[in-house]
Amino acid sequence: MNPGLSRICIEKLKISGSLVVVRILITSVLLICPQSTYAIDGIVEKEVPKLTEIRIGILSHDIDNLWSGSKKEGGVDFSAEVNSKNSSISFLSGIVYPNFGVSINNEGHTSTLYVGFLWNRDISSNFFFDLGVGLAIHNGQLKSTTDDAKALGSRILFRIPIEIGYRLDSRHSVYLSFAHISNAYLASPNEGLDTLGIRYGISF
């Protein structure tokens, strides 16, 4: 065979092999990386679930006659939360994923910064609920002697959120949101504090 022709054939094979490797690498990256939709020459086309949700809302602060049993503080709480669903694991017919957020009171009463885990499970095609557990650090009173501030006993508290959600579409949801914080009687006093309100969630 002509040596020049042999070199041309070898170069073509190298280029063809390189293109195959590049195609495999790109396909692998797209399968791993979070994207909504993608396609490569009609070979790969897949819808990937939304991996991060942001929830914002307004909640009534220190609700009376719920878990904590009494009301001392006033105002409303503005809440913002990030849920990392890309780190979720399957558990009891639902999924568990980490979350963190902040709740700020508009009258200068107890505000919190928190982190924890949510267990999410569908009730129907649109309705679902979340049940969580976590820890919250707050700026409220530990031992209060006034009638307008809760005595929370510890700077770090347990936080238990319960939410019922309605899925408007694949990206948007609304929630009836409840959360309780207290020290679980690991410190004294332990008046606890409850919030209840509405939140809106958007997924990316």
pLDDT for residue 86:
84
pLDDT of residue 144: 82
| φ/ψ of residue 19, rounded to 5 | -65, -40
pLDDT at residue 39, rounded to an integer: 42
Rounded Cα distance between 160 and 162, Å, is 7
pTM passes above 0.85: no
Q: What is the dihedral of CA 114, 36, 94, 57, to 10 degrees?
A: 40
Rounded CA Rg of the chain? 26
- Which residue segments constitute the domains of the chain, with CATH numbers given? 3-45 (no CATH), 52-203 (2.40.160.20)
Token pair, residue 17, equals 């092999």
Per-residue confidence in pLDDT tens, the chain, 204 aa = 555 544 544 454 444 544 444 454 444 444 434 443 434 444 444 444 558 999 999 999 999 999 999 899 999 999 999 999 888 899 999 999 999 999 999 999 999 999 999 999 999 999 999 999 999 999 999 998 888 999 999 999 999 999 999 999 999 999 999 999 999 999 999 999 999 999 999 999
Structure confidence at residue 56 (pLDDT):
98
